[in-house]
Structure 1
Amino acid sequence: MTYQFTIIVPVYNEEDNLQRVESELLKYLQIAKVTTSVLFVNDGSSDDSQAVIEAICDRNDAFEYISFKENRGLSAAIKAGFDNVDSELVGYIDSDLQTTPEDFNILLDHIDSYELVTGVRSNRKDSFVKSMSSKIANGIRRAFTHDGMIDTGCPLKIIKTDYAKRIPMFRGLHRFLPAMIMLQHGRVTQITVRHFPRIAGTGKFGFWNRLFGPLIDCFAYLWMKKKYINYEISKSSK
């Protein structure tokens, strides 16, 4: 079967969430506006996530997986997903399911006019410290990138795959996906999506790496922007 859209699900020690991830994604596949598949990327989990993922993929034709030898971080997991899809559209959602796959349909309504559509989490169900550190980090990042994104950390995005594959990813750059699409002269927009409390598992980012990580990554982004190669061919004999 040919799929138009692939959902990447990065996984790191989320065994307690994965059965629910399967259930929610199966529900979404029944209502998805385009033919959709799922790609788990196991980022070197040390729990039983891999065994659960393999069982899920064995019983669902639209589900596949790749697994890292060791933990490499969220940016690496997302890049591996981009590298291993061949659908026209690619997106991702966190395995903690604090956003819902159903809202991919809201983003799909806008993807024809843009190269990236990202969610903005409304009425966030995070702790005050987590929400405030995220707000500060987003402000710092906007000051560097001028991309206008309110909530670039929202784990619900859809990107046209040819643009996603050209993003020169490095550790931490998942926070800069809209800015990297804009470097390719791609169009980006942000749409309000729902947000839910985490039910199982634990968060992978704390207060300090929400603040200092993005600050350091901003300087990496500025270097990348300065060195980024972008060109358009006006004429060719090929």
Structure 2
Amino acid sequence: MDPVITVAVPVFDERGTLEELHQRVTEVLRAVGEPYEILFVDDGSRDGSKTTLDAIAERDPAVGVVHFRRNFGKSAALHVAFERARGEVIITMDADLQDDPSEIPRLLSALEDHELDLVSGWKQKRQDPLGKTLPSKLFNYVVRRLTGLHLNDFNCGFKAYRREAVEELELYGELHRYIPVLVDGMGFRCGEVPVKHHARKWGHSKYGVERMAKGFFDLLTVILLTRYRRRPLHLFGWGGLVSFSFGFLCLAYLTVMKTVFDQAIAGRPLFFLGVLLVLLGTQLISTGLLGEMINGSRTTRPGYHIARELPVREVSVPSSEPAVKEARASA
């Protein structure tokens, strides 16, 4: 029997919480009453988490463990979890017990009651130091403005998905932060519910300035993938057209000054600016055209995502007898 619910937990140096996490998740899932599995992905832990996870899997046949050879990041861990999850609904949560397993039923209810494909937790009363909460608020504000998806907490790892919403996701880098944006871009419905959040009891946060920088670059990647993947010329073409137009106007003005008023233009800053803008515009438009050529020449997935399909069940073969009788009668 395949499970209905899969709980996927990326793990990196969280040995002190794993036993309690497994116990609490198991209690909640048994109370839900649906077949389940729990999948841990050890992202190259160095604190003994591997041994603890293996012991848990040895005792509980509903637990699976994937061990990475080294630390590849949370996106890679989630990608592997999504590939191996067999449940119709997939719950993801962090292993540090800041996410409360008792909130799983609330995520499941929101998924069904509001007919959503992804429900993200919202750490409304976040139990983290100011050094994490302020950058997080700024991050969420910027992502909302740039993507148009109105969620309060994009980076919350506590989420519920329908299987079809993640089957086509390709996660790498820091893209796990933008899963709602990627899913929304494929036409799935996203929402969020407030969830409890607890202070960290074990280990230390992996958050840092370097991750913020990586997250910013991946935000640009997400915008490119969701808006311009199939039409790169629309991204580079507009900038190129504006640059080329301003450069052309500058050079046209200088041409008039030279031919009509016989003024020297070779050493004027406007001349160099005009040449620079024309060259920049030409390069941007050429980049967009190259992107279109590459996009058109490679075999990729189609640019659409089918929600549901009712196939033809039977080929209808019309009878030819009425037509034959009518032909005979007219003869």
TM-score w.r.t. structure 2 length? Answer: 0.68
1:56-205 correspondence to structure 2 within 5 Å: 56-112=56-112, 113-205=115-207
Between stretches 139-148 and 4-13, larger displacement belongs to: 139-148
Q: 1:160 to 1:235 in 2, by over 3 A?
A: closer
Instruction: Compute the displacement of 1:20 (Å).
Output: 1.6
The 1-side partners of 2:43 and 2:203 are apart by 15
2:2/2:86 contact within 8 Å kept: no
**Secondary structure class of the residue paired with 2:66:** strand
Instruction: Compute the displacement of 1:81 (Å).
Output: 0.2
1:172/1:213 contact within 8 Å kept: yes
The 1-side partners of 2:310 and 2:22 are apart by 48
Instruction: Compute the displacement of 1:111 (Å).
Output: 1.4
**Secondary structure class of the residue paired with 1:110:** helix
Between stretches 36-45 and 18-27, larger displacement belongs to: 18-27
1:120/1:190 contact within 8 Å kept: yes
Runs of 4+ in structure 1 deviating by more than 6 angstroms, as ranges, are 233-238
The 2-side partners of 1:12 and 1:163 are apart by 25
Could you give the per-residue CA deviations for residues 85-121 of structure 1, whole angstroms, max 9, x where no partner exists?
A: 1211112110001111111100111213011011101
Name the structure where strand makes up a greater proportion of residues: 1
Q: Does residue 213 of the first structure (1) align with residue 286 of the second (2)? A: no
1:152/1:176 contact within 8 Å kept: yes
**Secondary structure class of the residue paired with 1:202:** coil
Higher relative contact order (CA 8 A, sep 6+): 1
Gaps of 5+ in 2: 231-301, 314-331
Instruction: Compute the displacement of 1:221 (Å).
Output: 0.7
The letter for the 1-side match of 2:192 is Q
Q: 1:125 to 1:230 in 2, by over 3 A?
A: same
Gaps of 5+ in 1: none
The letter for the 2-side match of 1:14 is E
Q: Which has the larger radius of gyration?
A: 2
Could you give the per-residue CA deviations for residues 5-27 of structure 1, whole angstroms, max 9, x where no partner exists?
A: 10101001111121221222122
Instruction: Compute the displacement of 1:143 (Å).
Output: 2.1
The 1-side partners of 2:46 and 2:137 are apart by 31
Identity %: 27
TM-score w.r.t. structure 1 length? Answer: 0.93
The 2-side partners of 1:189 and 1:230 are apart by 24
Could you give the per-residue CA deviations for residues 137-194 of structure 1, whole angstroms, max 9, x where no partner exists?
A: 1112222211111101112101111221111212111111111111111001110111
Give the aligned length. 237
Could you give the per-residue CA deviations for residues 181-232 of structure 1, whole angstroms, max 9, x where no partner exists?
A: 11111001110111100111111112x1353232111111122122165325
Could you give the per-residue CA deviations for residues 64-89 of structure 1, whole angstroms, max 9, x where no partner exists?
A: 11111111000110011001112111
**Secondary structure class of the residue paired with 1:24:** helix
